[in-house]
A and B are shown apart, each in its own frame.
Chain A
Amino acid sequence: MKRYFDYYRAQMKIAVLQEFQYPIAQYFYMIGMIAEPVIYMVVWSAVAVQQGGAVGGYTPGGFAAYYIVWTLVRNMNIVFTPYGWEWRIREGRLSMELLRPIHPLHGDVAYFAGWKFVVIALWIPLAIFLSLIFKPDLHPTLLEGVAFFFAIWLAYLIRTMTLSLLGMITFWTTRVSAIFELYFAAELVLSGRLVPLTLMPQWVQDLAWFFPFRWAFGFPIETLAGNLTTSQLLGGLGMQAAWIVIGIVATNLLWRVGIKKFSAVGG
């Protein structure tokens, strides 16, 4: 356990050092990333005003809170993608990783976890800037704050698992982009990324319960910007933990089969 802790610390340090090499690029990346929620925010705020001040319980201040928290959750959602899996197999990087006495997935989790610290540091001034312009209606309690802290990290792990599962399909298909696009479309609708799930038809909300998307995106936002009860907060965290367990089991199974395929054909 101590060895894994040491490895995670060292890999996260490498990520931080590496990302600090290109601070300007990081900032432009962050600015590019907030364009999407700002569009949603402006559109929905205008709709809310036209509807007499609120849509589905969301005021312009409510939308501002939702989408400003969205920006942090979205960054926490950035993980090693299926495109990355394509690259690591095509370039032979996976072979080099397999020579190490540690599972490559630990490297992915640790590296992107380290990267989050850079992202959070860069996000803070952007969030302040957006708050000054859009005036979010955000008054979290201590419990919501604590739940949010855990929820964003659990969301990170859920998305890591799901995209790793998609990425591992590359063992069989070499290319995975078409499947990723399909996944991305489903995620957009069922996660709360496009619009708060409570504004979606009831059947979409019901459907979202059975997929990991909501627990990796909408739920963490709602812990801070929604009005969830304590039992809803704890239940949501429990659902996140359940999806992580499912993800660990599924990635292990797929890895065992996939790596046999990989070692049969080379890379």
Chain B
Amino acid sequence: MSLAVNVSSLTKHYQVPEREAGLKAAAQGLFKRRYRTVKAVDDISFQIPTGEVVGFLGPNGAGKTTTLKMLSGLLHPTGGSASVLDFEPFRRSHDFLRQITLVMGNRNQLSWDLPALDSFDLQRAIYGLHADEFKKTRDEFIEILEVGSLVKQPVRNLSLGERMKMEIIGALLHKPKVLFLDEPTIGLDVTMQKRIRTFVAEYNQRYGATVLLTSHYMADVEALCKRVVVIHHGKILFDGNLSALVERFSAFKTVAFTLTDSASDLTPFGEVAARDGSRVTLRVPKEKASEVTSRLLTSLQVEDLTVEALPIEDVIASVFAIPKEAA
């Protein structure tokens, strides 16, 4: 099994100047600066086999973007090593750059005033793509993302979602083997998010590309990634299957049921997470789920009871709430 990404003890520390608020501190800072070391990424290791789609999760400031920037060659690591397609990313060799792409949801590369078609042609020239091959790929992507009627309009006239589609087409025209996607669906509506997810999945299958995806939308991760890497305070908290993440970090289960008598007191059974008339959702400790279920069924008149794991969003939120000392 060949590895597309191999990260070993990768570290990135920054020296950040800091001072107290106010004029006096600012004046003192002119003569003597105080620095603090920020461990943005702290000794992380993981591997991604060729063709795998991996979700890279973490709260804001966890070190996700710093890691992606190191893997795409924008940042020089403080320590450790990283290889992408057997290249050292920070050398930014042209052969390496031709085989990767980094899409950042909050950055754009397309010319604002021009139709995306013009920017696509510039991408062709930048990557030295053969005209026929370029045209075939471009038209194929335009068709899959259903933007045929939009590519001739100035980018500034497009909606956020439409612009993001164009950005993704532009970023993939050279058919990169490794995709670093940093919040590609940020700010988009549900339909647009789904369309982009489908496109990424299709690209992955069609070209066998490796994808490392960060997103705050768990729907992206659930739809695309079997495996997730969770980073928090610069350290990896978890690396494995999404289902195993839920199993490991979820201390609770939800018990949802409908009561025939909506006036029943439920506090002895667990925390009431939601109640809508006779429909109730309880949050109970994982190890007590079966016992609570059995008590509910014997003590109350219950219809259609289901026991489920906590939604992935809730699990991730509880992981992100882990304090730095415990990470």
Query: B-contacting residues of A (Cβ < 8 Å)?
Result: 3, 6-7, 9-11, 13-14, 17-18, 21-22, 92, 95-96, 98-102, 260, 263-267
Contact of A266 among B75, B102, B121, B125 (CB under 8 A): B75
B73–A99 CB distance below 8 A: yes
Q: Report how far A267 CA is from B14 CA in the complex, Å.
A: 12
Say whether B74 faces chain A, with CB atoms less than 8 Å apart.
yes
Say whether B72 faces chain A, with CB atoms less than 8 Å apart.
yes
- Minimal Cβ-Cβ distance residue in A for B76: A263
B69–A14 CB distance below 8 A: no
Contact of A101 among B74, B97, B119, B121 (CB under 8 A): B97
Interface of chain B, main secondary structure: mixed
A99–B72 CB distance below 8 A: yes
Using a CB-CB cutoff of 8 Å, which residues 81-102 of chain B contact chain A?
Answer: 90, 92, 94-95, 97-98, 100-102
A99–B125 CB distance below 8 A: no
Taking the closest CB of chain B, its distance from the CB of A178, in whole angstroms, is 15
Q: Report how far A263 CA is from B69 CA in the complex, Å.
A: 9
A96–B109 CB distance below 8 A: yes
B118–A266 CB distance below 8 A: no
Q: Report how far A213 CA is from B189 CA in the complex, Å.
A: 53
User: What residues of chain A lie closer than 8 Å to B98, measured between beta carbons?
Assistant: 101
User: What residues of chain A lie closer than 8 Å to B72, measured between beta carbons?
Assistant: 99
* Residues of B in contact with A, size category: 20 to 34
User: What residues of chain B lie closer than 8 Å to A9, measured between beta carbons?
Assistant: 125
A10–B125 CB distance below 8 A: yes
User: What residues of chain A lie closer than 8 Å to B107, measured between beta carbons?
Assistant: 92, 95-96
A263–B128 CB distance below 8 A: no
Question: A9-B125, A98-B73 given. 17 additional CB < 8 A pairs?
Answer: A3-B128, A7-B126, A11-B122, A14-B122, A18-B114, A21-B154, A95-B74, A96-B107, A96-B109, A98-B74, A99-B74, A99-B102, A100-B126, A101-B97, A101-B126, A102-B94, A263-B76
Taking the closest CB of chain A, its distance from the CB of B193, in whole angstroms, is 23
Q: Could you say which of B66, B72, B107, B122 has the most chain A C-beta atoms within 10 Å of its C-beta?
A: B122
B114–A21 CB distance below 8 A: yes
Say whether B111 faces chain A, with CB atoms less than 8 Å apart.
yes
User: What residues of chain B lie closer than 8 Å to A260, measured between beta carbons?
Assistant: 76
User: What residues of chain A lie closer than 8 Å to B100, measured between beta carbons?
Assistant: 99
B121–A10 CB distance below 8 A: yes
B125–A100 CB distance below 8 A: no
- Minimal Cβ-Cβ distance residue in B for A3: B128
Chain B 51-89, CB within 8 Å of chain A: the 1/0 string? 000000000000000100100111110000000000000
Instruction: Enumerate the 6 nearest inter-chain pairs by beta-carbon distance, A residue then B residue, closest first.
Output: A10-B125, A101-B94, A101-B97, A263-B76, A3-B128, A7-B125
B118–A17 CB distance below 8 A: yes
Contact of A263 among B75, B125, B154 (CB under 8 A): B75
A266–B66 CB distance below 8 A: yes
A-B contact pairs, 27 of them (CB 8 A): A3-B125, A7-B126, A7-B128, A11-B125, A13-B118, A14-B114, A14-B118, A17-B114, A17-B118, A18-B113, A21-B113, A92-B107, A95-B69, A96-B104, A98-B73, A98-B92, A99-B73, A99-B100, A99-B102, A100-B126, A101-B97, A101-B126, A263-B74, A263-B75, A264-B76, A266-B69, A266-B75
Say whether B233 faces chain A, with CB atoms less than 8 Å apart.
no
User: What residues of chain A lie closer than 8 Å to B177, measured between beta carbons?
Assistant: none
Known: A14-B111, A18-B113. A6 touches B125 (CB 8 A): yes
Q: Report how far A266 CA is from B94 CA in the complex, Å.
A: 20
Say whether B124 faces chain A, with CB atoms less than 8 Å apart.
yes
Q: Report how far A96 CA is from B124 CA in the complex, Å.
A: 16
User: What residues of chain B lie closer than 8 Å to A14, measured between beta carbons?
Assistant: 111, 114, 118-119, 122
B97–A99 CB distance below 8 A: yes
B126–A102 CB distance below 8 A: yes
Taking the closest CB of chain B, its distance from the CB of A219, in whole angstroms, is 33
B14–A100 CB distance below 8 A: no
